[in-house]
Structure formats: structure tokens, C-alpha cells
A and B are shown apart, each in its own frame.
Chain A
């Protein structure tokens, strides 16, 4: 196997507070290879966005990386200073956020934002950058790109804006794109368009994608592999079909089961009792044990086996044994 584009090793993010140190991301490890879409899924507060922000070096103070390594194409990037990191953002890592309005400068024409990014990162002339900008807008499906390149962000609809953001994220041909809830603010029909676009572009260019979302449906359709996070830790990591259809971690199983789709035809939805603990009040041992139907003594003491990139799928002492159903 070739070298992974992004390799996260035992990443720990800490937030010091007056009541103690919180760990919104705790010993998380995963790889993303070329052309692969890794879905990072979890409920709010699970640390999925924080992981993405740590990779692009955009953690809000006082949060900071306190352990582990982040390697981009084999080179460490977690210890770079702000200037070096800024050069990597946009050039080697593209970003797509939930709200397209916040990632576009409302005072600049979209063409200027695209050419500016290209000129900053690519060795090309201004005219060439403009031509490429039009091509980029055309590629993300903006009709009449040549005439709309001089429009301002507010002149676009939400879906079109997100297309512009994707064009902006990909224009410097980065090796990795981090998409944080890229479709959450969009309507169902537009969401399908954006997901299809993201998939097509990344497959064509061989870009690695980290797709952060809470929507299991989006993950199932778009991702190749999926990382399930719970209370700052990786609960399960594996091929998307495996994780969705034969979850091994009891949390993943509960999460999949509680979607209305999975309980189709049933009077009641399956539910996980309780709610995710707040970061300041994590239980000892496995953070899921108070809600887990299979919790035993070991779960109350030890946080579960480490989930390193190559061994084991679920960080659980007693993973769900899936009975193969004859089909």
C-alpha cells in the first residue's frame, strides 16, 4: 500500500479550564490514503470537528494539541508555526465548512477569491489564474461560469455558494480536503448534488477527503471507510459497509439502530438510553459503559483496547459478535 496522504497518530487535544483539563480528542489514530473518503461520524460533542480543526491547525484557543503526531504525506505538520501552517492550508489541505457564507469573503468577488488563492499557491500568471478560475467554477457546475465569476457571494444561492467553496478548496489542487458538515445547512435535493460533486471531483483527482458529518446516510453513500467517534475517542474504524451493516462496537450498533431507516416498519425506534456525557464528567473506563447494555466490570476500569490503524476495528472489550445472516 502506498504511503497515506494523512496520518494521524495518537492525537490528543486538550482544553484547560478552571475545573480541569478537558480532552475533546483523546488518542485518535487514523490514515487516509489517496483518493479515499474517510467519513468521521459522531454526535455533537464527540470531537469530530475538533479532529478536523487540529489537522488544519485551526484550533480555537485555549484548545491545543498536547500529544500525538499529524503527518501529511509523511511530513509532520502538527508542530509547524502559524506561517508555515498558513502556507499548507489552501495549498495542500483544502477546507469546506458547514456554512458557505463564513468561508467566503462577502466583500470580494468570487473570481478574485479564486485567483488570489491560486496565485498564492501556484506558479502561474494572473491571466492563467482567471482562466483556471472559470474552468474551476464550470467544473463544480456553476452555470455560465465566465459571466458569474465577477459576482459577489451573496448573489448566489446556498447550494451554489457551497459549490464555489468546493471550487475554492480544490483550486490549488490539494492532496487532502477536509469537509466539515458540508451539507448540513442545505436542503435534501441540494445535498445530494453537493455530495455527488465532492465524490466525483475527489475521485477524478485522487484527493483524499476527510468528511465530517453527523448524518449516517451521507456517510453510507459517500465514504469508503468510516471512523465512529464517541466522547473524544475512536469507537470504531472500518470499511463503511462493514461498520454500517455489521457494527462491532455497541455504540455504533446503537447509533445505526436508532435511525428511523433502520427501524423501518417498527412501532418504536431502537434507542440508546441516556445521553453522551459532558467532557468534564467522563466516566472512568470506557466512556460508553453507563449506556452500554453489555458493560462489565472491565469496562468500568479500563477505557478499552487501543484502536491503532492496523489492528482491531472496535475499541471495545466485548465487541458485538455479528452472526452472519444467510442471504
Chain B
């Protein structure tokens, strides 16, 4: 299947140093935060690729680099075979740009409070000088609101309705790819179900491709065709949901799945995961997960594991086979 988006060795480093004068006075070196480190994956057309991870995993940074809000420090993002950060033909860039849209997390901050819904939704088309007559009204009905809502202001809507407006805006320029950055994490459960269903329906109707960014494993499991698990800016495991949720091969994925609350976990007494996410400015050497990993060996502190094929998934772990074996034992036990 053809890849719509191809991410290659993507890296993003932020300069989080104090101002120059403070550094001189306190004699501190520049502080660099590697938010995303050497991440590669492909998103096939008409599929949902999900990135999961906890805070500091770099999932949002990857999303922003794909839509072009941030430029990569190194590596590349190719959409339809065009590398956005290196392409010089402005017309080509513009064409690719209109193929990518984004849905943000906070439905209250992502709509300009002074604009009418009609103008908000039509903006992607209006900015390119397209015909917007009746566009917003049509899109509003498509996302389950009514045409009359076009004349209202964002504050007249609930969180779920606003997220529908955001989806309508994302659809306006008829994109191929929509990057969804935690689209339902600000919503209540019953509203989340409505929005997720709507997104699934629209995907089928318009032949969309989603990059779905979330920290919520249950949502990802429901939506994704393929899942990439991130830890401290690195892709540690990539698998389809079936494989990931039944046979996670990376110790971090295993820990994440075990820690997630379960609806049938009444009075569950599990040993909670150890430790916390380390400081991303000074990540541990070797595999970033080694200080928390129950299976760590000296090699894990020395050499950063590369992604390799293990049991139908891509896993970046020296001890993936052992981790899988341990997993099987705990299930049978």
C-alpha cells in the first residue's frame, strides 16, 4: 500500500537554555532538550496511525512537524513524496499544505472567540481565495450540527460541539491527512464516543488518513490500524492493535498496558510501575527506559537498541524476546 506520509529519522532538538546573560553569570552550558529522536514510520493512505505515549514522549512535537508548525532539526517528513522542509517550489508546498489539516486538543482554545462559526469553518478555503458560499452550512450538517449554527459564536457551544466545529474546519479544504492531537481528551466519555464515531464515519466517507495522537490506550486501541509507542522521544514499539494489546514486546508497552485502569479490574491489586519518566534534558544513556526496566542488562545502559522485527511487530529493545516470554508466563500463571 502506498504511504501518504513518510517520516524518516525525524529529530527535533529544543534550546531550553536560560538567556545568554544568565548563562554567563551562572556559568552554565546551553541546555538542549531532544524532544524527538530519530523517529521513522510510514502512514499508508486511508489508514489510522496512532502515536501513544506519556507526557514528554514527543508525540505532539511529531504531529506539529508533520503539519509544518515546527521544522525538524534533522530528518524529513515526506507527504505524497514531497519533503516539506526541503522543497523550494512554493506552489508545491502550498498544494501539500492544503492536503494536511489538524484537530487540536482544547476545543475552547482552538476556535477564535471573536469569529462567527461560519467564518471559522470557511477560513482554510477563504485564505486561498476559494468559493465559500454555503460551505460552512454544508459542513456543519455533515458533522452533526445544524446550518443555523453558522451564525453563532463559539461560546454558545459545548465542548463536544466545538470539537465538531473544529472537525468541520479541518474538512473545509478537503484534505487527505488530518493530524488529530488528543482530539477527545478534553471531552466527557459519552461525548468522546460521539466524536470518535463521527471521525470514523468521516474517514470512510472522505477517504481520509489520520495521524491520531493520544495518551489514552483505550481510544487508540479502538481507532488505530497501527500504533507507535513513544518513550522519551523515541519510537520503542510499532505494531497493529491486536498484536500490541495481546502480545506487547517492549517492557515499556507492557508496563503501560498493565497500569491502565480496567473496567473489570475491581479491587485490582497490581504492583504499580516503578519510577517516573526521566528528565528529557539528561536522558539515561543507552535505552532510555533502562532505569525503570525490570529486564535491563548492562548492554541496555551502553547501546541504544534499534527497531527490529520481533514476532510481527517492530520493537526497539535488546531484551524483547525475554520480555515476550515473561509476558507469556505471567498470562499462563
Contacts and interface: CB of A to CB of B under 8 A. Distances in A.
Question: Do A and B have CB atoms closer than 8 angstroms in the complex?
Answer: yes
Interface string B192-236: 111011001000000000000001011101100000000000000
Contact of B196 (A44, A159, A260): A260
A188 B266 contact: no
Interface string B250-291: 000001101111111111111011001100000000000000
Nearest to A244: B263
A255 B190 contact: yes
Nearest to A219: B261
Given A159-B276, A263-B222, A272 B190 contact: yes
B189 interface: yes
Interface stretch (A97-105, A209-217, A306-314): A209-217
B161 interface: yes
Interface string A291-307: 00000000000000000
A258 B193 contact: yes
Contacts of A217: 218, 260-263, 265
Given A220-B264, A244-B266, A268-B197, 6 more contacts: A44-B159, A188-B54, A191-B259, A217-B263, A244-B263, A268-B200
Contacts of B192: 258
21 contacts: A43-B188, A187-B215, A188-B256, A192-B272, A192-B273, A196-B270, A216-B189, A216-B261, A216-B263, A217-B218, A217-B263, A218-B261, A220-B262, A244-B264, A244-B266, A256-B263, A258-B192, A259-B193, A259-B218, A271-B197, A275-B158
Interface in B47-82: 54-55
Given A189-B273, A217-B265, A263-B222, A275 B260 contact: no
A190 B278 CA distance: 12
Interface string B156-172: 00111100000000000
A241 interface: yes
Contact of B221 (A43, A197, A260, A268): A260
A261 interface: yes
A241 B215 CA distance: 26
A227 interface: no
Interface size class of B (residues with CB under 8 A): 35 or more
A218 B262 CA distance: 8
Given A220-B262, A240-B266, A214 B273 contact: no
Interface of B: 54-55, 158-161, 188-194, 196-197, 200, 215, 217-219, 221-222, 255-256, 258-270, 272-273, 276-277
A160 B276 contact: yes
Given A221-B268, A268-B200, A275-B160, A261 B263 contact: yes
Interface of A: 43-44, 157, 159-160, 187-193, 195-197, 214-218, 220-221, 240-241, 244-245, 254-256, 258-264, 267-273, 275-276, 278
A49 B160 CA distance: 20
A269 to B, nearest CB: 4
B196 A157 contact: no
B262 A221 contact: yes
A220 B265 contact: yes
A191 B197 CA distance: 27
A217 B256 CA distance: 14
Contacts of B188: 43-44, 214, 276
A274 to B, nearest CB: 9
B189 A43 contact: yes
A278 B270 CA distance: 39
Contacts of B261: 191-192, 195, 215-218, 220-221
Of the listed residues B55, B189, B218, the one surrounded by the most CB atoms of chain A closer than 10 A to its CB is B189
A43 B159 CA distance: 12
A269 B54 contact: no
B222 A271 contact: no
B197 A259 contact: no
Given A188-B256, A218-B261, A196 B272 contact: yes
Contacts of B221: 260, 264
B218 A221 contact: no
B56 to A, nearest CB: 9
A11 B63 CA distance: 47
A204 to B, nearest CB: 14
A273 B161 CA distance: 12
A272 B193 CA distance: 8
Contacts of B266: 220-221, 240-241, 244
A263 B215 CA distance: 19
| In the A-B complex, the 10 residue pairs with the closest CB atoms | A217-B261, A43-B188, A258-B193, A187-B54, A192-B259, A269-B193, A260-B222, A271-B193, A260-B218, A193-B272
A153 B102 CA distance: 36
Contact of B263 (A43, A192, A193, A220): A220
Contacts of A270: 193
Nearest to B279: A157
Of the listed residues B217, B221, B268, the one surrounded by the most CB atoms of chain A closer than 10 A to its CB is B268
B54 A221 contact: no
A113 B69 CA distance: 43
A241 to B, nearest CB: 5
A263 B192 CA distance: 13
A217 B194 CA distance: 19
Contacts of A160: 276
A177 to B, nearest CB: 18
A225 to B, nearest CB: 12
A191 B54 CA distance: 11
A262 B259 CA distance: 18
B222 A193 contact: no
